[in-house]
Structure 1
C-alpha cells in the first residue's frame, strides 16, 4: 500500500481468529496512503463447529470464502468500479 494511489480500495479479508489476534494490520497503512479501507469476514478453513476459534498456538488457520463473503467482496469491488470514469475502448 506504500505506493498505492490515494482512493485505491483495500479489502482486508480475515476470520474470527485473525480478528482476535492481529486484526486491522492494514488499516494504518491504508490511512497513510489515503486508500479506501473495508473489511470482510470469512470462515475459518477446516473448522466445522460454528463459533469455534482455534488459538494461534495451533497456527494461523486458512480462510474459507463462502457465498456471503464472496457476495460482499464483489459488492465492494462493484461499488468501487462504479465510481471510476468509463475507459475508452481499444481501437
Structure 2
C-alpha cells in the first residue's frame, strides 16, 4: 500500500462560483483599468505613486503585491468598472 495522500480534486470555477475576481490576474486588472481610465484617471481615483509618477504595469504590480490596502482599492475599482460596463451594455 502507498502512503501517498489521495489526489486533490481539480480546481475549477465551481469552487468559487460567487467570486467575481476568480481567475482574474492582478496584471489583467491593472491593464484594463489603465486602458479604461488612463494612467492619469487611475491616479486620480487611487492616488498612489505607482499610478501617478512614471506609471507602468510592472511597477504597479510590484507595489500592489506588497501593499494589501492598495490592492483592495484596485480590486474594488476594477469591480466598479465591470459593473458600469455591464450597465452601459443594457438596452
Higher relative contact order (CA 8 A, sep 6+): 1
Instruction: Tell me the TM-score normalized by structure 2.
Output: 0.31
- Higher helix fraction (1 or 2): 2
Instruction: Tell me the TM-score normalized by structure 1.
Output: 0.31
- Higher strand fraction (1 or 2): 1
